[in-house]
Structure 1
Amino acid sequence: MFKTIIEPRVSETDGVGHINNTTIPIWFEAGRNKLFKLFTPDSSFQNWKMIILNMNVDYVDQVYFGREVEVYTWVKRIGNTSLELYEEIRQDKRLCAKGTSVYVNHDVKQRKSEVIPETIRVELEKHRYSESAE
Structure 2
Amino acid sequence: MSIPITRIKPRFNETDALGHINNAAMSVWFEVARIDALDYLRGGPRSEGRWLVASVTIDYLRETFHGTDVLIQMTAVTAGNTSLTMKCEMQQGDTLVARGSAVLVHVDMKTKQTIPVPDVIREALARL
TM-score by length of 1: 0.82
Match of 1:57 in 2: 58
Hey, what does 1:125 align to over in structure 2?
126
Unaligned runs of 5+ in 1: 128-134
1:28 to 27, 30, 33: 30
Contact 2:42 2:120 in 1 (8 A): no
Q: Distance in 1 between matches of 2:127 and 2:59?
A: 25
What is the aligned partner in structure 1 of residue 21 from structure 2? 19
Distance 1:48 1:39 in 2: 12
Q: Distance in 2 between matches of 1:67 and 1:6?
A: 9
Report what 2:94 is aligned to: 93
Is 2:58–2:100's contact at 8 Å kept on the other side of the alignment?
Answer: yes
Deviation at 1:61, TM superposition (A): 0.3
Out of 32-41 and 102-111, give the one that drifted further: 32-41
Conservation of the 8 A alpha-carbon contact between 2:70 and 2:92:
yes
Check conservation: 2:84, 2:103, Cα contact below 8 A.
yes
* Aligned residues: CA RMSD: 2.1
Of residues 19-28 and 114-123 in structure 1, the stretch that sits farther from structure 2 once superposed is 114-123
Partner in structure 2 of residue 67 of structure 1: 68
Aligned residues: 125
| Structure 2 unaligned regions, length at least 5 | none
Correspondence for 2:7 = 5
Could you state the TM-score of these two structures normalised by the residue count of structure 2?
0.86
Other structure's SS at 2:107 match:
strand
Deviation larger for 111-120 or 89-98:
111-120
AA at the equivalent of 2:101: T
| Cα 1:75–1:106 shift into 2, 3 Å | farther
Residue type at the aligned position of 1:108: M
CA contact (8 A) 2:77 2:125 kept: no
Q: List per-residue Cα deviations over 1:56-77 (Å, max 9, x = no partner).
A: 0100001110111101123342
Deviation at 1:34, TM superposition (A): 2.4
How far off its partner does 1:79 sit?
Answer: 0.6
